Amino acid sequence: MKKILYMVACLSFCSCAAQQGTSANFKTDPIAEKMLVYQLPNGGWPKQLIGGSVVNYNQPLDEALLSKIKATPEKHATIDNKATSREINALVKAYKATGNTNYLKAAERGIDYLFKAQYTNGGWPQYYPDHSLYRAEITYNDDAMVNVLNIMLNIATQANDFEVVDRKYTAKAEDAVKRGVDCILKTQVQKEGKLTIWAAQYDQNSLKPAKARNFEPASLSTSESVGIVRFLMRLKNPSTEIKQAISSAVDWLVQAKIVGYRFDKLANGDKGLIADPSATIWSRFYDFDNNQPIFGDRDNSVKTNVADISFERRNGYGWYGTWPTNLIAKEYPKWQKTIETTN
């Protein structure tokens, strides 16, 4: 009972501290309340706390967890694994549902953080302000930059609940989108003068494809490219350059499909390619020169056969997937019809 009372008191204290003089007569959302507690002083959110604990908003806020949150430095703020974008989206929705201004203020602080983190060239690093190792690279990996750009576009167009955000952010969001799109167009990989798709990471200065973790080599990346194309298709009145970027990427994805196999568990508990006439998959990474699937390992080696990498990595990463399926079959044709109608 004493522990329960302590937890309630902690939640109440953190919520009250965030109110900054607002009325106590408001509705609350339990997850949003926890997001207020986890927000770092610079406005961003971590994906992990000090000590490596993964952020889990379903976890009760006990004394030990509150101590970890308090000790987590600002450099842990990131857009990786949906961190910061997840919270901003959730807090905007929570504000609309409850009218609790604390949630909107926290979301806007998060938006301010995203503005600060954007490079002049339009890209976003995986972490800000921590630029050690590959954290400074422009990061499309796991849709990190696309998640941010979708927020910026929502602010600029007052879409998806973001009409509640202060209008002072509109012009800045429009500029962020413009520069972000410019970065996307500049980083689309060309081979022999023909546009292909995108890499997962880029050097923030040269805009050349870059490796991240040892098992994530610089390469053409299908999953991330699907996210980029989906974002570009959201843009109203796209330029000829944007339309060409979209169509070229989809054409490349169509050519890169692997028909007749799926990547699944084998009888021995390992994972590998299994013949399946009904299946169509794509490799996560493709070689720049020959468009063939490649696979990285923790020792920095790159293989052309998934069976040649270590058991741990073979079974611990999404080397194959169906990411482009709906894009090719449904979303892109629908976008094409829309473009034809509006032109």
Q: Domain range holding 205?
A: 188-343
* 28: in domain: yes
Looking at the structure, tell me whether residues 136 and 160 fall in a common domain.
yes
* 4, pLDDT greater than 90: no
Looking at the structure, tell me whether residues 32 and 173 fall in a common domain.
yes
Residues 84 and 15: beta-carbon distance below 8 Å: no
Query: With a threshold of 0.85, does the pTM exceed it?
Result: yes
With cut-offs at 50, 70 and 90, classify the pLDDT of residue 340. confident
Q: Which residues contact 28 (CB under 8 A, 6 or more apart)?
A: 15, 98, 100
Query: Is 313 an annotated catalytic residue?
Result: no
Q: Which two tokens stand for residue 147?
A: 């998640």
* 5, pLDDT greater than 60: no
Q: Which two tokens stand for residue 91?
A: 């807090």
* 22, pLDDT greater than 60: no
Q: Quick one: what percent of the chain has pLDDT higher than 90?
A: 90
Element (DSSP H or E) covering residue 194: strand 194-195
Query: What pLDDT sits at residue 19?
Result: 42
What's the domain count of the chain? 2
What mean pLDDT is predicted for residues 291-299? 97
Closest CA to 49 of 31, 76, 75: 76
20 by Cβ neighbours in 10 Å (0-12 / 13-18 / 19+) ranks as exposed
Side-chain-side CA neighbours of 321 within 13 Å: the count stands at 15
Domain edge (last residue) among 178, 204, 223 = 178
Query: What pLDDT sits at residue 89?
Result: 98
Closest CA to 260 of 247, 274, 250, 246: 274
Domain edge (last residue) among 136, 159, 178 = 178
For the domain that residue 239 is a member of, what is the CATH number?
1.50.10.20
Per-residue pLDDT of 102-158, as tens digits, reads: 999 999 999 999 999 999 999 999 999 999 999 999 999 999 999 999 999 999 999
Query: What pLDDT sits at residue 23?
Result: 40
Looking at the structure, tell me whether residues 233 and 318 fall in a common domain.
yes
Q: Helix crossing, 85-98 with 144-157: angle to 10°? A: 40
Query: Is 234 an annotated catalytic residue?
Result: no
Query: What pLDDT sits at residue 223?
Result: 98
Looking at the structure, tell me whether residues 124 and 169 fall in a common domain.
yes
Query: What pLDDT sits at residue 51?
Result: 87
CA distance 128 to 136: 8
With cut-offs at 50, 70 and 90, classify the pLDDT of residue 63. very high
- Residue of 81, 89, 141, 154 with catalytic role: 81
Q: Is the dihedral of CA 85, 88, 93, 94 positive or negative?
A: positive
- Residue of 109, 135, 213, 262 with catalytic role: 213
What mean pLDDT is predicted for residues 55-66? 96
